[in-house]
Each structure stands twice: as C-alpha cells, then as structure tokens.
Amino acid sequence: MSMRKFADHVIAVANLEGDRISNLQLQKIMYFAVGDFIIENGITPQLRRMYDEPFEAWTYGPVVRSQYFRFSGFGRYPIFSDGNYDVDYEDFDKHIIKYLDENINVLVEESHEHSTWWNNKEKIARQEKVVYSLENIANDFSE
C-alpha cells in the first residue's frame, strides 16, 4: 500500500464513475477521503501502511508532492490515465465518490479552514515545508 497506489485508485474510481479529474481535484479528493476514512474508522494499520508519504500544506491546500509532480504535466486539465482499481483501497471508495462532484474551490477553501493549514498559513506563504501527520488530519476532521 502506498500513496502512489492510492492516487491510482482515486483516478480509477473517478473513471468508473464517468469523471475525469484534474491534479488539483486528485489532491483534494485524496485528502478529504483520508479524513473521512479516519472519522469513520480511526487511524488503522491499513492507513498507516498506505500513508508512506505525507500531505504537505501548499497554497491550494494539502498535496502529496510526488503525486502532484507525477501528474503536473496535465496542468489544470483532466488527468488522462486509467489509474488502477485496487481492492486494497475499496474502503475509501464511498469517500472518493462523495467528493468527485464537489466544486474544487469549495474543497480548497474547506481545507484552508482546517487547523493544520490555517495555523501554518504564514509558513505556507513563505513556501516553508509543512507536513500533515495522520494525527493532524484526524484533528482537522474532528473540529
């Protein structure tokens, strides 16, 4: 399990639902799906294994750096990839689907209201690295 495979799974679920998502959407859907999963299940061993690369707080909200750069060539346009549906991640499917049609600006704004981003906005503006632990995400989603 890994964040790379999770990104591939999110893209595959979007495709199965008839949606193509942008890189920004991918990042926010990953973040909100992880947050919802934590609210429902807590921080499970499965999630700890998957979370091999943390979200970082960027100007437009949480981002998994490697996955952002992996898909950055698509710019603001849809990612044209089949992704890879993996049953190891199926517990996230309903959370992924929930955010597919959500307005991306709403998701960005909502992520900015979470304390990890909000409390570090000056560091973010200076482009200092701020990472989210799973505990940070759990706290952000329990507020």
pLDDT digits (tens, 9 = 90+) for 28-37: 999 999 999 9
pLDDT of residue 143: 75
pLDDT tens per residue across span 12-52: 999 999 889 999 999 999 999 999 999 999 999 999 999 99
Residue 19: both structure tokens together: 């949606």
Answer for the pair 100, 107: CB distance below 8 angstroms, yes or no: no
Global pTM?
Answer: 0.96
Three-state secondary-structure class, residue 125: helix
Q: Name 56's bridge partners.
A: 63, 131
Distance CA 120, CA 128 (A): 9
Q: How confident is the model at residue 103 (pLDDT cuts 50, 70, 90)?
A: very high
Contact in structure between 7 and 26 (CB atoms under 8 Å) = yes
